[in-house]
Amino acid sequence: MPCVFLTHQLKVLSGATTWLSSKIHQNIISKFNECWVPDYAGSNNISGDLGHTKTSNYTLKYIGPLSRFEKQNHSYKYNILVLLSGPEPQRGYLETILLEELKLYDGKILFVKGTVENEQIIVVKNNITIYNFMTSAHLNTALNESDLVISRSGYTTIMDLAKLEKKAFFIPTPGQFEQEYLAKKIKQEGIAYNCKQDDFKIELLAETKHYSGFKSYGFESDFKDLFSLF
């Protein structure tokens, strides 16, 4: 039975040991029939060095970014959507920083804390509507109804925002080399601004006007061809 390895990390960033973590990961990948990378093959891609290597001893197929969301034609209901995720305590630290800074913002904000609990809780504080979590369908609508998204720069989130062609402001999780790399890459390409967690100030939101936001790449995966392997 053919087996496929799905990853965007052909290069695994781990600081000084990146060469070792990448070599170990690539050795694992080589044991599979194919490696599918959720990105574009050319220079106009999302993952950069993470998902692109000069040489490989395994069969690579670039299948295009994957996202559970769909672009919809909605007028903007919110100026900003804050979408939090990731492990504690960093998620909680960023929540505290953003709630403190954004209370000064003159606009409508939807704030999704990313804490999955038994019951959905909605709290309204002046200009900020706060959800502890949202279902996928509700979040799909919220993303389409928001002008700017503030979030971590994880690869799944970036694929979602690219699919929806959103403007973004990224705050990488401290110590996560991949998120830091992706945020830097996207900033250099003029797509989205970023800053360190402890450096966030409301005034930095003005920088987003100098960045284009994500644009459609116009790529559709040929899943019939991909799954012909099986």
Domains of the chain: 4-64 (no CATH), 78-210 (3.40.50.2000)
The pLDDT tens digits of the residues spanning 159-203 come to 999 999 999 999 999 999 999 999 999 999 999 999 999 999 999
Cα end-to-end span (Å), the chain: 7
Tell how far CA 130 is from the center of its chain.
21
Q: In what order do the strands lie in the sheet with 146-151?
A: 122-125, 128-131, 109-112, 78-83, 146-151, 167-170, 193-194
Residue 219 has pLDDT above 70, yes or no: no
The pLDDT tens digits of the residues spanning 70-117 come to 999 889 999 999 999 999 999 999 999 999 999 989 999 999 999 988
Residues 154-158: contacts with CB under 8 Å, at least 24 apart: 154/85, 154/86, 154/178, 154/179, 154/182, 155/8, 155/46, 155/47, 155/50, 155/182, 157/83, 157/85, 158/46, 158/182, 158/186
Task: Count CA atoms closer than 13 A to 68's CA, side-chain side.
Answer: 9
CA nearest to 148, candidates 127, 170, 179, 169: 169
pLDDT at residue 154, as a whole number? 96
pLDDT at residue 83, as a whole number? 98
Residue 218 has pLDDT above 70, yes or no: no
Tokens of residue 100, six digits: 């403190």
pLDDT at residue 76, as a whole number? 95
Hey, how many other C-beta atoms are within 10 angstroms of the C-beta on 226?
14
